[in-house]
Each structure stands twice: as C-alpha cells, then as structure tokens.
Amino acid sequence: MKVKVDRDICIGVGNCVAFAPTVFKLDDENKAVVLDVASADEKTIMEAAESCPVSAIIIEDDNGNQLYP
C-alpha cells in the first residue's frame, strides 16, 4: 500500500492524525505528511483517508492502482 498526501489540497484539519498518529503528522506548515505506512493496518489507514474532509489522502496498492478516493 502506498499513501500520499496532496499538500495543495490539505487544509490541516488533522482528522488523519487522529485516526492514525503513527502514519500522519502535521508539519510546520500545518499540512499532513506521511510517516511510516507500515506502522498501522490498512483498515486504519483507509479510515484515516475517508476521514479527510477534502480527500487529500491518496491510497494506491503496491502496483500503483488507486484505491482511494
């Protein structure tokens, strides 16, 4: 699973951090960055992505196929 944050879209709400604090954190610009994708299970990461109000979290499988959004 690959996880990316579109920082142009991210508005720094922090829902993703609340769901998966080992995977996402807010940086100095109040935008989410991806930490360790392997530190949480896929369901948790998917829930974090679904919690983002602006769909800034992009999830792909290992072959690059987009799973979300």
CB 41 within 8 A of CB 33: no
Closest distance of CB 49 from ligand SF4, Å:
8
The order of strands in the sheet holding 2-5 is 2-5, 57-60, 66-68
* 23 near ligand SF4, judged by CB under 6 A: no
Among 4, 12, 22, 39, binds ligand SF4 (CB under 6 A): 12
**In whole angstroms, what is the distance from residue 59 CA to residue 69 CA?**
7
Among 15, 20, 23, 46, binds ligand SF4 (CB under 6 A): 15
* 34 near ligand SF4, judged by CB under 6 A: no
